[in-house]
Amino acid sequence: MESLYVIVLSLWVGGTSLFTFILTPVIFRSYPRDTAGEVVGKLFPSYFLFTLAVSAAALVLFFFSFPYGGSVIYRVSLLLLSLAVIAALYVNFRLHPEARKVKREVHSFEGDSPDSLARTRFRRLHAQSAVLNLFMIADGLVLLVMNVGIKK
């Protein structure tokens, strides 16, 4: 069961890193901003569902892999896994729907004024999403590294 836990953590870190640091930048370099935003926007629901699925699976597998842990590493891992699931739930069911709603109010990121109310609100939501995404990557990476120190 511990091997499956490590595989899920690896998918979590690898998948989120691939999307964040390779796929999204390539799309934005390859297409005009509005088109790239539409393409990435179409990918977001699946991406956010993926982050929820891997973080929830990791939490469940953690309990099966380490049922009697009481070490500091065990407690920190449990905290990080719980925070990841909470963050993924928040992004999936609150932040992303709100960002999609606000984005519909922006006619064009290339043509609308950067100071418009809708662009300002979207920028704030996007920044929050970016911070939570980087947290998810760092969280999964720390969990992978800490897995070495967990006592069964």
Summarised one tens digit per residue, pLDDT across range 41-72 is: 999 999 999 999 999 999 999 999 888 777 88
- Which range (30-34, 39-43, 72-76) has the least confidence? 72-76
- The answer to whether 117 and 101 are in contact (CB under 8 A) is no
**Cα separations (Å) of 12 from 9, 49, 55, 104?**
5, 12, 7, 30
CA-based nearest residue to 121, from 90, 94, 100: 100
Distance CA(32)–CA(110), nearest Å, equals: 8
pLDDT of 120 > 70? The answer is yes
- Here the tokens at position 67 are 């049922």
Tell me, what's the pLDDT at 1? 83
Query: Would the CA dihedral through 29, 45, 127, 131 be positive or negative?
Result: negative
The letter for the amino acid at 32 is P
Domain ranges of the chain: 2-147
Compare 126 and 65 and report the one with higher pLDDT.
126
Residues 6+ apart with CB under 8 A from 43: 19, 23
Greater pLDDT, 67 or 146 = 146
| pLDDT score recorded for residue 151 | 56
